[in-house]
Amino acid sequence: MFTFGESNRVGAHISGISENFSEGNMRIPAGCAISAIANVKGIPFSGKAIRDSIANMRERSNGLGGGFAAYGIYPEYKGFYAFHIFYEGCAAQENTECFLGENFDIEVGGKIPTRKVVGITDAPLIWRYFLAPRVDKLAESELNADEFVMRCVMRVNSSIDGAYIASSGKNMGVFKAVGYPEDVADFYMIDTYKAYIWTAHGRFPTNTPGWWGGAHPFALLDWTVVHNGEISSYGANVRFLEMFGYKCTLQTDTEAITYIFDHLVRRHGLSFEVAVATVAAPFWDDIERMLPEKRELIKALRATYASLLINGPFSIILAWGNGLMALNDRIKLRSLVSAQHGDNIYIASEEAAIRTVCPEATNVRSLGGGEPLLVFIEGIDGYGN
């Protein structure tokens, strides 16, 4: 059942795996599946390829969550923020639309088109709005537009019962649900959209229940994150973020990772390389062997942002309006593979997920621990340009 407000961090339990299985008897896929495809020229392409890629890793999921992020899908409304919102009922929708009307000029709103799929049940009301901050409210707040939107998203998600803004960036959107990712793709008719960046996630939760808002990707403004792993630094990360106005209402690792990059890159203006050196910092022995200038920078980062170090096994794909980044934890406890063909870059938990949509892919490599793969889209302005 679709509900809001319940804790998403409960006792650890791996669903669907018997204690009798071992690596010798079955494949141990090490959790969730993540995948991404980007065209570096910014040429949009159908969502069919990302659906087929993530479907190839079905055994990494258990049907408790799947989702997609797509960039470049709303060119006719690219100047507006696109809000994708889940509503538990009409009262939540009425309260949210009242709040939005007080703070935004709404260009257009309506239900997100879906189709009936056997594997997708108990769907909430799913609406989409294209809007812009009201000029008077923006002037009154003395904030820039992104910061104003971020605070409004936090307000809705933490204060309005039964409402959750799943996506809030420009010319992009997040589509997620409880179900296997290929069923989620069919439900949202992903094949009818065209984007120049696609990311996807198949969820195998080990310490959180499956529900619509808790599926990946997690999003704020243009940022989206898909994640495989377990973050042991969650408590320290959240305490730091909440001092700066972030509301971690879902109590999940991936939500915190999304906010960390928003804080470091958008708010503090750090480069992606420096942000990575913050969240996946080198070990102290390695820092001591660095050249003096770099050594002092890394030490300063560790002192300033000590609570934003991400500990534990993880692989993530972070995407934004003009690029994406793939990153493993420092000692590479989760798999992540990249490849290329023409102007397309492919990233996935397994090479098979790339080969199934692009058999001729080249430059296939397994990403190293703590070493980011950065991809920027030509001709599109955004972070990192």
Cα separation, 265 vs 267, in Å, equals 6
| CB-based contact 164:171 (threshold 8 Å) | no
- DSSP-derived 3-state class of residue 213: coil
Residue 280, φ and ψ in degrees, nearest 5 = -125, 60
Burial of 233 (0-12, 13-18, 19+ CB in 10 A): middle
Active-site residue among 32, 90, 248, 358?
32
- The answer to whether residue 358 is catalytic is no
Nearest Cα neighbor of 62 from 209, 276, 205 is 205
Q: What are phi and psi of 41, to 5 degrees?
A: -85, -5
Q: Which of 45, 13, 1 is CA-nearest to residue 206? A: 13
Under a CB-based contact definition with an 8 Å cutoff, are residues 226 and 60 in contact? no
> How big is the chain, counted in residues?
385
Instruction: Count Cα atoms within 13 angstroms, Cβ side, for 41.
Output: 7
Q: What does the CA dihedral 77, 79, 81, 84 come to, rounded to 10 degrees?
A: 20
Where in the sequence numbering do the catalytic residues fall?
A: 32
